[in-house]
């Protein structure tokens, strides 16, 4: 392949879309550990229940400054995103409703995928299919990176050590393969990017690898509730669709925010996002339906998982004085939901001598830690790849600058 992108969340899909809009005609493959695109902007669905759709990560995304990312306009024109029109309230430690808080994740221009959050990445992937097809390999864990002997490309290996593909250029759109937590959580013997950087010996790549490994992040334990038409009656009467918890409310109930989402057949979805402190106390507890359990091999802990679900469910009922009787719950644990500053310096987002780049919300700059940062970093990397590719046509990249 001309380009392989590890991760088909917002950043990975945005990079492919931005390259196509810039005239990139080389081959692109996205490798995604989950069942489809989206990452934290994905929508949970069910093979057994076609009408089930629940935004289990981000219920919206915001753009905090102008000019907005260039990709927003074609997404709007294609109907893939729409303005977020839900009401946002806050809840204090005494259980009183108040005005929305000036939170980084919900200020500025608010958007959501259409008709569900996964519309964002579905739209980006659609843009990436223009001119030339873009390949998606879902359910694929990249376990190891190996520089090719000529130093101008990479070979990727899967969960069982099997070769997946060779590529001239490689981009990591997330931090899993660079984060030392993969050793403690998944029992890996080494950090894949660090091992590859040591093999390559490129000073810039070694610096980028070290910077990514040093990024700390906040986890989130999310409870996903599906309420039937009868049990959802009281929830439908709430004046808010997104409820932010103040710091004292987070300390009391262990919840950061709650979102309400209408589903088909009169059902309602309730997504409870834990506080950072709650998630920290339950770092080793993964949802049994998560990629960590199903693909990465995290040890199942059904009893601990049930306890976390019960704790969040009870905290939700106590905070809002609303019943969840009859609801079906499942746990989704995001191990690195929110990266902490400073992030990866943009000057290290592309290592041209090693043919590797990085994008995502962990890149320092406007939108850091948010969907906006993922979009902006992807567009910036696309511009750099186009320029470098034009200078290095011998690498195999077929670039046609606008």
User: What CATH number did the domain enclosing 191 receive?
Assistant: 3.50.50.60
Residue 79 lies in a domain: no
Same domain, 225 and 309: yes
286 Cβ partners below 8 Å, 6+ apart?
292, 293, 298, 300, 301, 305, 331, 333
Q: Which of 293, 320, 339 is the last residue of a domain?
A: 339
Same domain, 139 and 15: yes
333, pLDDT greater than 80: yes
- Of 64-73, 190-199, 300-309, 359-368, which gets the smallest average pLDDT? 300-309
Tell which residue, 245, 152, 118, 169, has the closest CA to residue 2.
169
* Averaged pLDDT for residues 216-223: 94
Q: Which of 339, 364, 385 is the last residue of a domain?
A: 339
Residue 185 lies in a domain: yes
pLDDT interval class at 22 (50, 70, 90): very high
Residue 129 lies in a domain: yes
Strand 109-113's sheet: what is its strand order? Answer: 61-63, 109-113, 81-83
Same domain, 91 and 110: yes
CB 362 within 8 A of CB 343: yes
Domain count, the chain: 2
Same domain, 164 and 198: yes
395, pLDDT greater than 90: no
Question: Quick one: pLDDT at residue 399?
Answer: 43
206, pLDDT greater than 50: yes
> Could you tell me which residues are beta bridge partners of residue 146?
155
Residue 70 lies in a domain: no
* Averaged pLDDT for residues 339-352: 96
180 Cβ partners below 8 Å, 6+ apart?
191, 213
- Of 38-52, 280-294, 295-309, 360-374, which gets the smallest average pLDDT? 280-294
Tell which residue, 205, 193, 178, 198, has the closest CA to residue 352.
205
Residue 171 lies in a domain: yes
> Could you tell me which residues are beta bridge partners of residue 268?
227, 262
Same domain, 201 and 236: no
Q: Which of 316, 339, 362 is the last residue of a domain?
A: 339
Question: Quick one: pLDDT at residue 121?
Answer: 98
Three-state DSSP state, 287: coil
Question: Quick one: pLDDT at residue 208?
Answer: 98
Euclidean distance between CA atoms 180 and 284, whole angstroms: 15
Domain coverage including residue 156: 3-42+118-215+340-395
Tell me the residue length of the chain.
402
Same domain, 351 and 284: no
C-alpha dihedral sign at 37, 41, 47, 52: negative
Same domain, 201 and 224: no
* Averaged pLDDT for residues 367-388: 96
Euclidean distance between CA atoms 343 and 215, whole angstroms: 6
Q: Which residue shows structure tokens 């091992």?
A: 195
Same domain, 230 and 323: yes
Residue 180 lies in a domain: yes
260, pLDDT greater than 50: yes
Three-state DSSP state, 5: strand
Same domain, 306 and 179: no
16, pLDDT greater than 60: yes
Tell me the pLDDT of the chain averaged across its residues: 91
- Does residue 115 have a cis peptide bond before it, meaning omega lies within 30 degrees of 0? yes
Instruction: Give buried/exposed letters for 224-243 (b at 16+ CB in 10 A, else e).
Output: bbbbeeebbeebeebebbbb
Same domain, 356 and 314: no
Question: Quick one: pLDDT at residue 289?
Answer: 61
Same domain, 192 and 228: no
302 Cβ partners below 8 Å, 6+ apart?
288
Residue 236 lies in a domain: yes
Helix or strand holding residue 379 (H, E): helix 371-391
Same domain, 307 and 232: yes
158, pLDDT greater than 50: yes
Residue 386 lies in a domain: yes
């Amino acid at each position: 392949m001309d380009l392989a992108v590890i991760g088909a969340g917002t950043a990975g899909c945005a990079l492919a879309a931005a390259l196509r809009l810039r005239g990139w005609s080389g081959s692109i493959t996205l490798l995604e550990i989950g069942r489809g695109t989206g990452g934290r902007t994905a929508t949970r669905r069910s093979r057994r229940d076609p009408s089930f759709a629940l935004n289990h990560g981000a219920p919206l995304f915001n753009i905090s400054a102008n000019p907005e990312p260039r990709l927003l306009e074609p997404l709007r024109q294609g109907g893939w995103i729409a303005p977020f029109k839900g009401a946002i309230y806050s809840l204090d430690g005494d259980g009183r409703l108040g005005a929305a808080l000036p939170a980084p994740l919900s200020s500025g221009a608010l958007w959501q995928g259409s008709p569900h959050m996964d519309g964002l990445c579905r739209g980006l992937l659609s843009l990436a299919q223009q001119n030339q097809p873009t390949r998606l390999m879902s359910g694929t864990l990249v376990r190891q990176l190996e520089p090719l002997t000529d130093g101008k490309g990479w070979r990727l290996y899967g969960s069982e050590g099997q070769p997946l593909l060779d590529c001239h250029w490689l981009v990591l759109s997330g931090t899993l393969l660079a984060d030392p937590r993969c050793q403690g959580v998944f029992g890996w013997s080494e950090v894949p990017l660090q091992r590859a950087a040591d093999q390559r010996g490129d000073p810039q790549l070694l610096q980028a690898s070290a910077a990514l490994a040093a990024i700390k992040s906040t986890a989130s334990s999310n409870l996903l509730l599906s309420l039937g038409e009868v049990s959802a009656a009281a929830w439908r009467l709430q004046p808010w669709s997104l409820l932010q918890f103040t710091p004292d409310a987070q300390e009391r109930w262990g919840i950061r925010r709650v979102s309400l989402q209408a589903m088909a057949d009169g059902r309602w979805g309730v997504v409870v996002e834990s506080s950072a402190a709650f998630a920290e106390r339950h770092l080793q507890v993964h949802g049994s339906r998560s990629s960590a359990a199903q693909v990465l091999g995290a040890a199942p802990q059904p009893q601990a998982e049930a306890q976390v679900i019960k704790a969040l469910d009870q905290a939700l009922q106590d905070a809002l004085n609303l019943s969840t009787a009859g609801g079906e719950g499942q746990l989704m644990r995001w191990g690195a939901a929110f990266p902490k500053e400073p992030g990866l310096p943009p000057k290290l987002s592309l290592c041209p001598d090693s043919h590797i780049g990085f994008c995502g919300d962990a890149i320092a700059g406007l939108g850091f830690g948010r969907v906006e940062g993922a979009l902006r970093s992807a567009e910036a990397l696309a511009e750099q790849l186009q320029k470098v590719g034009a200078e290095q046509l011998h690498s195999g990249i077929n670039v046609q600058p606008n």
